[in-house]
Structure 1
Amino acid sequence: MPELRLVIFDVDGTLVDSQADILAAMAAAYAAEGITLPDRAAVLSIVGLSLPVAMESLSPGLDPARRARMVETYKDAYVALREKARMHETSPLYPGARAALDRLQADPFTLLGVATGKSRRGLDKLIEGHGLEGLFVTTQVSDHHPSKPHPAMLLACLSETGVAADRAVMVGDTRFDMDMARAAGVRGIGVDWGYHAADTLTADAMIGDFSELDAAVDGLIGQATEQDA
């Protein structure tokens, strides 16, 4: 019988193009403190990090109390945006994302997971908004783990599913995702449509479209199985 395998997805910049909501929520957090918002490229460069780490990266030396307020303002603004806007308009799934998730889930030996810098509240809103309930057997969020690229989220995915690291892949759009994968002993598949330049990812495989994902997953897990044999 084939061994189970696990495909773990980043969310922002990988499954959904959420930059409009991220930029708006970040603008609200900075405005509330009377601080000038860094430019768009700077904000998108920290997508994937947990919010406290992201804020510190964008504005080094912030007073901890002020940074904590900004984190909470961001979270509240993000949820408020989600309640007022249509998810499909402001945080749409990338073309082919849902079909790829459905194809992989249809394989009885493939499990799906999420490892995201989002909060539990933010991820739950996104899953509900896009009707993705029941697709993911493990979902790891920033509330309970150190920020990427620390491997804690991936290690928790492996532990919860009982899948070995060499039977798992991480799919993401940032160097934080790929560094996290390496730290956890998991192969990394980079996507070229996200928020970090493709040539900065140092992934084990790169894809330019979700139609290429199945072959990339098969190739990397096949390589690991052959090496172990």
Structure 2
Amino acid sequence: MSALNNAIDILRCFSSARPDLSFADVQALTGKPKSSTSRLLRSLRDCGLLEQDRHTRRYRPGLLTFELGRLHRAHDDLIALVERELREVCARTGHTGYIAVLDGYQQVVLRIVPGSNPLRVVNPPGQRTPAIITSNGRAMLARLSDEEVRKRVPVEYPKVPHNSPQNFAELIARLNEIRLTGVSDAADEAIEGVASQGFAVASGETGELVGVAVSYSVHTTEAERAHVRRELAATADKLRRITGDPLAQAADLRTGTAS
């Protein structure tokens, strides 16, 4: 880790006030030996994190840092957009909403939008749950190919609640149903007594995938579930069009509304 930490120390030397630096500048700012500074600068340049002006020999952040920063900004913009729309849904339905992303076969909660109803199920940000047992987790997995899903799910299939897909074949069958209907729901799975509905949206620019869900009691009436389903379907459609999600483009092609 020392080499990585030293490289990070060099990258931290750059700022809006110091957009480019000489070898001597970097050595003075970091206080590192001449030999290791030279080696690290060369490595950072070769991998694209830094660029070196061929005339002045000064270093500046490279294209890779720009691309990473752009992805980070796009990520923040996407999450903020999704959260804004989810807040509207939660305000209209009174139920709690979640925003999550995939990490392997698990989903990680990023944001929570509390509802006004007495039942407020809260999975704190950062909590990990197998995506195969949640509505928004399965919605995200359904956006991947079967082969991509197989690579994510452990060979030794995880032990899951009885209402969840019990093996890989059942999981693929459930994902195919989501792909066909656009509806992803769960009940008595991640949390006993709790049901949810979810969808996934992907950025057409970065391909980033985000899962959205609204949760409520398993005893919620069918009429209320239908209300939530309509709210989520409308929100999913709106978000996909705003973000350039390939699903929205495919839907336009099917209906002949593509420009």
Q: Which has the higher contact order (CA 8 A, sep 6+)?
A: 1
Please say whether Structure 1 and Structure 2 have the same fold, judged by a TM-score greater than 0.5.
no
State which structure, 1 or 2, has the greater radius of gyration over its C-alpha atoms. Answer: 2
TM-score scaled by structure 1?
A: 0.28
Where is the strand percentage greater, Structure 1 or Structure 2? Answer: 2
TM-score scaled by structure 2?
A: 0.25
